[in-house]
Amino acid sequence: MNIIQLKGVHQEYQSGPIPEVILESITKSFAAGKVYAVMGPSGSGKTTLLNIIGGILRPVSGEVWLDGENLVKLSEKKLGQLRLNKVGYIFQSFNLLPFLTVEENIFLPIRLVKKDVKPYLERYASLLKSLGIEGKKDVYIHELSGGQQQRVAIARCLLMQPKVILADEPTGNLDSTNGDQFMNLLTAMAREHQITVILVTHDEHIASFADEIIDMKDGCITTNSIRGDKGNENIRRANL
């Protein structure tokens, strides 16, 4: 089942007399329970694609369908509600609040949508243990290392069990061991809860955990690599 469908998505910016094309007529579907890695050189449109899928940016033209709703047609209020309830974000810059503790940061999205935290307590404890930060729950963010802050951001995202997780260079501040641990956890969550994960990375090793690798260049999807169940790339590498 496809949870995300992009139809003719086009994005450009008017920075001079001639518009700069960022995404050029992107059409692509993303299935539930799958992990997608988006790769390509700087300026190829990877992050813009991520932001449009998450409803942070609206395209100049085209349709963006997420769980049966066309994001382009939604009001700002409804778009905000959809992001809170259905989309999780993991960014290299963390986006954590330094005046809150680890626990307060992780539970913040739950409180924003006015949900009871009690049903999430068991998952919260499990995530802290899996990510190696169980002893840091009462520590303020500014007291953590960069890698620890990243793991807090991961826990905050995974706690909500969103339908879609968008990650921009999520392992950029983790060493190889913690990076692999994160990807193993993320792929397991995707399979178990049918979450669609779309991550941007320059790291081919991290991309190897994905079910599909999407290569981008100059605002276009150039190739799509569909991988085997064990992470080995299939022989088929098809132009979209």
Going by the DSSP 8-state scheme, the letter that residue 101 receives in this structure is B
Could you list the beta-strand ranges (E) of the chain: 2-13, 20-31, 35-39, 61-66, 69-70, 87-91, 164-168, 196-200, 212-217, 220-227, 233-238
Cβ atoms of 169 and 125 within 8 Å: the answer is no
Whether pTM > 0.75 for this model: the answer is yes
Going by the DSSP 8-state scheme, the letter that residue 60 receives in this structure is S
Tokens 């395209």 — which residue? 59
Per-residue pLDDT 10s for the chain (240 aa) are 899 999 999 999 887 788 899 999 999 999 999 999 999 999 999 999 999 999 999 999 999 999 999 999 999 999 988 888 899 998 777 789 999 999 999 999 888 877 899 999 999 999 999 888 999 999 999 999 887 888 898 899 888 889 999 999 888 877 888 788 888 888 988 888 899 999 999 999 999 999 999 999 999 999 888 865 444 443 233 233
CA 173 to chain centre: 16
Give all domains of the chain, ordered by start, each with its CATH number. 2-96+162-232 (3.40.50.300)
H or E segment and range at residue 78: helix 76-86
Strand partners, 29: 5
Strand partners, 3: none
